[in-house]
Amino acid sequence: MQVTEKMNVPVGTKALIMSKRYYGVLSKCLEDLEVERYYSVLYFLAENDGCTQQHICNNLAVDKTAMVKVIDYLIKAGYIDRNVNPDDRREHFIVLTKKGTKHTEEIVGAFKSIDDKIFADISKTEKDIFIKVLCRLTSNLEILPANDLFFNYKKTARKKKKKSNVAKL
Amino acid sequence: MQVTEKMNVPVGTKALIMSKRYYGVLSKCLEDLEVERYYSVLYFLAENDGCTQQHICNNLAVDKTAMVKVIDYLIKAGYIDRNVNPDDRREHFIVLTKKGTKHTEEIVGAFKSIDDKIFADISKTEKDIFIKVLCRLTSNLEILPANDLFFNYKKTARKKKKKSNVAKL
DNA sequence: TTTAAATAGTTGACAAATATAACTAATATA
DNA sequence: TATATTAGTTATATTTGTCAACTATTTAAA
């Protein structure tokens, strides 16, 4: 049952479909873990252990109010801790626990394994171009006017009701 | 406030972040329309007017139960109609109304305009490679085991509870 | 040719994600 | 010092996605 073969769809839609399949495969790979969501946050922490919540939000394009719940969930699972930064007590450092570190290794491995598999029949050159263009498209999108999810603008002087920007459909 | 600069994230995560931004920009472009969701379904219908619900599901990787609500929403807005196929009365043809056709032109224009803008500083060669690789990655993902969202397998002999495959994080 | 299986679509209950405003606390700036 | 900004939290409402069970119809098998 193939999907998205020869069809002419906008690049944002294509990317969304790809990422949905990607996360479907990922969650199958990791279905034995007790944590069943937010793998990309753990992946990010593997390389950015001890960063702040806001830093995760900025890099993964998640709203800070949503991030609170993500962090709560991962703390409850015993994967991470939340520590106040003594030098700026507004900030909370997010650090992997021993348990979290262990499972995050498996998660990182699963991500990398999927990447290896799906890039297996693509040349290094084309892969590099793909990644470069994907990053460029993202940064080009950043300078276009958007509804302001992901950015924690101050909420003053808000006039109109917002529309959902859920990356679905 | 830049995001996703030099970071090392898996390709599925990168694609998700890009698509989130993409839809944020799109919804800003189209905020004057009364319909504020499901633009990609209308885009798809612009080229596949009269197809079945299942056909949309297959191509946009959306579960059929979710599609029912999408179609209901667009019917309520007066953009589409749902007509039973007389030759196979299980199938419902989805057709754009006059009103839907008119607004869908604007939606298609908005998608194309965004694509034009974000690819403006990327060569034709690199763009072609990007699109080709994106399609290839998607099809490579299809042959990997995944949790079976998007696919309407028969639900018999189901043993374990499913995990969410929401393309979020 | 009757029975079984598969397909297209629907429903309803529930879980998860998102939007939004209002809030505390801490720090930076004018 | 007063003001604004930043990091994070809470609460509420809405939207969206999940999933099992369902109807109706068509196809395939015995």
Q: How far apart are CA A22 and CA B11, in angstroms?
A: 9
Q: Using the beta-carbon criterion (under 8 Å), do A130 and B127 form an inter-chain contact?
A: no
B57 pLDDT more than 70: yes
The one-character DSSP state at B145 is -
The one-character DSSP state at B116 is H
Q: Give the three-class secondary structure for B94.
A: strand
Residue range A47-88, pLDDT digits in tens: 999 999 999 999 999 999 999 999 999 999 999 999 999 999
pLDDT value for B124: 97
pLDDT value for B151: 41
Q: How far apart are CA A68 and CA A57, in angstroms?
A: 10
Reported as a pLDDT band with limits 50, 70 and 90, residue B168 is low
d(CA A95, C1' D9) / Å? 19
Q: How far apart are CA B120 and CA A139, in angstroms?
A: 12
B3 pLDDT more than 60: no
Residue B1: list chain A partners with CB under 8 A: 58, 151
Reported as a pLDDT band with limits 50, 70 and 90, residue B7 is low
Comparing C-alpha atoms, which of B118, B105, B116 is closest to residue B21? B118
> What domains does chain B contain, in order, with CATH numbers?
11-141 (1.10.10.10)
Residue B28: list chain A partners with CB under 8 A: 144-147
Q: Give the three-class secondary structure for A5.
A: coil
Chain B's closest residue to A112, CA to CA, is B10
C-alpha A143: how far from chain center: 20
Residue range A127-158, pLDDT digits in tens: 999 999 999 999 999 988 886 544 433 333 33
Bridge partners of residue A93, in order along the sequence: A52, A83
Q: Using the beta-carbon criterion (under 8 Å), do A21 and B61 form an inter-chain contact?
A: yes
Q: Is the CB of B166 under 7 A from strand C?
A: yes
Chain B's closest residue to A4, CA to CA, is B59
Question: Token match 């919540």: residue?
Answer: A53
Q: How far apart are CA A141 and CA B14, in angstroms?
A: 13
pLDDT value for B156: 32
Q: How far apart are CA A162 and CA A140, in angstroms?
A: 23
pLDDT value for B108: 95
Q: What is the mean pLDDT of chain A?
A: 86
Residue range B109-162, pLDDT digits in tens: 999 999 999 999 999 999 999 999 999 999 999 988 886 544 433 333 333 333
Terminal CA-CA length for chain A:
20
pLDDT value for B18: 96
Q: How far apart are CA A105 and CA A77, in angstroms?
A: 16
Please give the full DSSP string across A73-88, using - where no structure is assigned: HHHHTTSEEEEE-TTS
HSE (side-chain half, CA atoms, 13 Å) at B146: 27
Q: How far apart are CA B119 and CA A132, in angstroms?
A: 12
pLDDT value for B14: 95
